[in-house]
Amino acid sequence: MITRYSSALILVFFFLACNTEEKSSSSVNKKVDSLINVMTIEEKVGQLNFPVGDLFNTGPTVRTAESTRFNELIKEGKITGLFNVHGATYTARLQKIAVEESRLGIPLLFGADVIHGFKTVFPLPLAEAASWDTEAIELAARVAAIEATAAGINFNFAPMVDIARDARWGRVSEGAGEDPYLGSLIAAARVRGFQGANLSNANTLAACVKHFAAYGAPMGGRDYNTVDMSLQTLHETYLPPYRAAVEAGSATIMTSFNELNGIPATAHTYLLEEVLRKQWGFSGMVVSDWQSIGEMLDHGFVADSLEAAKKAMEAGTDMDMMADIYLKKIPVLIANGQLDQKVLNQAVRRVLELKFKLGLFDNPYLYSDTVREQNEIRSVSNLAAAHEVAKKSIVLLKNENNILPLAKDVKRLAVIGPLANNKEDMNGSWSFFGEAQHPVSILEGIKGKVSSSTKISFAEGCNLYDNDQSKFADAIRIAKESDVVVMVLGESAVMNGEGASRADITLPGVQQQLLEAIHKTNKPIVVLLLNGRPLALEWMDKNIEGIVETWTLGSQAGLAVADVVFGDYNPAGKLPITFPRAVGQLPLYYNHKNTGRPYLGKHEEPLTERVYRSRYRDVPNTPLYPFGFGLSYSTFEYSNLSLSKKSLLDNETVSISVTVKNTSARDGEEVIQLYIRDLVASTTRPVKELKGFQKVLIKADEEKVITFTIGKDQLSFVNEALQTVTEPGRFQVMVGGNSAATLNDFFELK
C-alpha cells in the first residue's frame, strides 16, 4: 500500500529530477521517464482516458451534478482531461484538484471543438477556403486560439482536413474542399494559427488534425459510412493534407470513425504505424474519435471491448475519447499478459510529452486566466478580423447585367427569406461557444448600409424546412412594391456538419417554390445563399440575375455580406469545391481521370456518340460552377502564356508566365490558377491538377505578369507500387481564373 508519506516523497524526487534536467541538456523524454517509473498501471491508464465534461451545457446545474463524480476521478488519477469544459475559473478549480489532490499531481488537458472560432465566430472552414488566402485562414485560427485559451482550453480537436468530393456529406462544411494541394496549404495554415510559434505560450492550442484517414469519402455521402479505395488514391488524394499538417507541427492526430478497406481507422496499423509514424515521422499523440474504440464492435471487427482495447492500443491509438474502454480493459489485458506494458508506456509517454510541451507542468493554470478571459474574448480587434475574413470568403456566382453592386440609395428594397432576419444560423455548425444573440443578421447588415431614404420591406416568405406556403402572399406583395428584391435562402446551421448528410441538395422546404413565385413578379432579384455545402442550383442559375455564395460567415456575417452587396468590398472568393447541376452527378470533382470513351464536352452529339460515351443522357457531365470559379466586380483578361523552356531535364525548373489585365474601371483581386496535366504515364493521371495559385490585386486598367515555377516535385505522382515518382514525358500547362481554364501550352520533361 502506498502511504501519503511515500506519495509525497515520490513527488519530491520527481520534481527534483525535473529541475535537474532543466539545468542540463536532457530533453522532456527523461522527465517523462521519471514520472512513468513511479506510476501504477491504473494511473498510466488514467492518462489515456478522456471523458466528456459538459456536452453542450456549461451552466451550474450540469457542473453541480457532475462535480462529485469528476472530482473523485481526478483525485484517483483516472482521467487525463475533460472534453467540452471551459471557463477560466471552472478549469482552474478542476486543475487544482488534479495538481494538489491526486497522488502524482499530473495536470489536466481541457479539450474542445474550436472549429471556426470561439466566442468570435469566423466563417465555416469551407467558406474560409473560398478565400484562397492562407494568411487570412491562419489569422482566423490564431484568434480562435487566443480566445479559447483565455477560457481554459488547451487542446483543440481541429483542424478537420478531410478531402471531400461529395456534397451530400454534411461534414464537407468543416474542411477545405476537394483539392489536395489547396487543402494541404490550408491544413498547414490552420495548424500554425492554432499552435503559434511555441506551444508553451499561454495563447496557443495543441492542434488535433482529423479525421485520420479518408473520412471524407464515405459511400453515398452518408456520414460514418464505409470507405473503400485504392491505396494509390489514398496516398495521392486523401493523405496529403494530413501530412502537411504533420509537417507543420501538429501536436496530435485524431482517428476517424470509418473503416478503410475493411479495417476501422482506430485500429488501422497500416495508417497509424506504417504511414503516420514510420513514413512521416510523427511522434505526437493519437486520440480516438468519440467512442470509436467501442464502435469497432458494431463494425464487426472485434468480439468484445477487451479485444477492442487491445487492437486499438497495439495499432497506435494512444488516448480513448469517451468510451472508457481503456480505463476498464487495459489493466485486465496487462494482468493477463495479453498486452505488453511497453505498448502502454509508449502511449502514456506521448500524452505526458504533450502536457510538458503545453507548459502545464511548469504552470498548470497557464490557460485559466480570468483577466485574459475578460479582455480577449470578442474584442474589437477579434471582431474586425472576423469581418475581414468573412468578406474574403464570399463568392460571386452570377452577375447578369451588372445587377450588383446595388445602389445604397435604392428607393424600395424588399428583403425576403427565412435566413434574412436570422441570427442563430449565422454562426453555422460547430459553433458551440458562439452565442445566438451576437451575430449580425443579413437584414441588420443591409439596414446599416443603405441610405436613410431607402424603404426596406422584410418578409420571411417561408420557414426553412416545412412545406407551409402561407407566408408567400406577404412576400409577393412586398416584392411587387419594390425596385429590387434580395432573397436570403439556404440551409440552417444544423443542416450541415456531423450527422447531417442530405440525399437532396436543392434548397430545403419550399424555398425553391418561394423563389419561383417571387421571380414571377418580374422584379430584379439577387439571391444570397447561406449554406455549408454545394447546392444544386440549375434553375436559379438560368433565371436569377444575381447569385452570391455567402456560405455561413459567423459573427460579422451581415456586415460582410452588405459590404459586398452594396459595393464597399469587391468580391474575390473562388470555389474550393465543385457545384453540381444535379445530385446524381455526385461525387463530382475537377481533377477526375479520363476514360477510354471520354465525354466530348457537348450535350447534343450524334446518337452513336451520345450513347457510347461516358456521360449522362439527361444532364451534361460538366458542373454548374467549376472548382476555382468566382466572379468579381472587376473583369480580367488572360493572355501571353509563355514558358521559359519547352524541354527540361530532371533537375531543372520551368518558369510559366501569363499576363493578366484588369479590363474594368475598378481595382480588384484575382486568383490566378495554374493546372498541370501529365499526358502519358505508367498509371493514368487526372485531366488536370492544381499546382499553384497567386491572389493578386490588379488596379483598374492595369496589367501584371504573373510567374509560376514548376519543377520535379510538382510533376511527381504515386505509382501502383506506392512510390512517389517523376516520369519523363509531355505535360500540358493550363492557366486561368478557374479549373475550366483554356489558356494552355506544353513542355517536355526529359
At 185, the amino acid letter reads L
* Cell (9 digits) for 283: 511522434
CA–CA separation, 425 vs 532, rounded Å? 11
- Phi, psi angles (nearest 5°) of residue 185: -60, -40
CA–CA separation, 639 vs 699, rounded Å? 17
Torsion of Cα atoms, 692 then 182 then 580 then 624, to 10°:
-30
**Chain position carrying cell 511548469:** 362
CA–CA separation, 464 vs 696, rounded Å? 38
* Cell (9 digits) for 392: 474574403
Which of 240, 255, 121, 219 shows the shortest CA–CA distance to 176? Answer: 240
CA–CA separation, 209 vs 282, rounded Å? 12
Asked whether 420 and 549 are in contact (CB, 8 A), the reply is no
- Per DSSP, what are the bridge partners of residue 748? 647, 730
Asked whether 578 and 627 are in contact (CB, 8 A), the reply is yes
Query: Of 289, 320, 425, 678, which one is the catalytic site residue?
Result: 289
At 618, the amino acid letter reads D
DSSP 406: P
Answer whether the bond into residue 211 is a cis peptide, omega within 30°.
yes
- Phi, psi angles (nearest 5°) of residue 562: -65, -35
- Is residue 289 part of the annotated active site? The answer reads yes
Query: 162, exposed or middle or buried, with CB in 10 Å at 0-12, 13-18, 19+?
Result: buried
Asked whether 365 and 94 are in contact (CB, 8 A), the reply is no
Answer whether the bond into residue 159 is a cis peptide, omega within 30°.
yes
Helix (H, G, I), strand (E, B) or coil at 542: helix
Helix (H, G, I), strand (E, B) or coil at 246: helix
Which of 705, 708, 445, 690 shows the shortest CA–CA distance to 555? Answer: 445
CA–CA separation, 696 vs 660, rounded Å? 10
Answer whether the bond into residue 587 is a cis peptide, omega within 30°.
yes
Asked whether 557 and 393 are in contact (CB, 8 A), the reply is no
How many CA atoms, within 13 angstroms, populate the side-chain half-sphere of residue 39? 26
Asked whether 453 and 440 are in contact (CB, 8 A), the reply is no
Helix (H, G, I), strand (E, B) or coil at 290: coil
| Catalytic residue set | 289
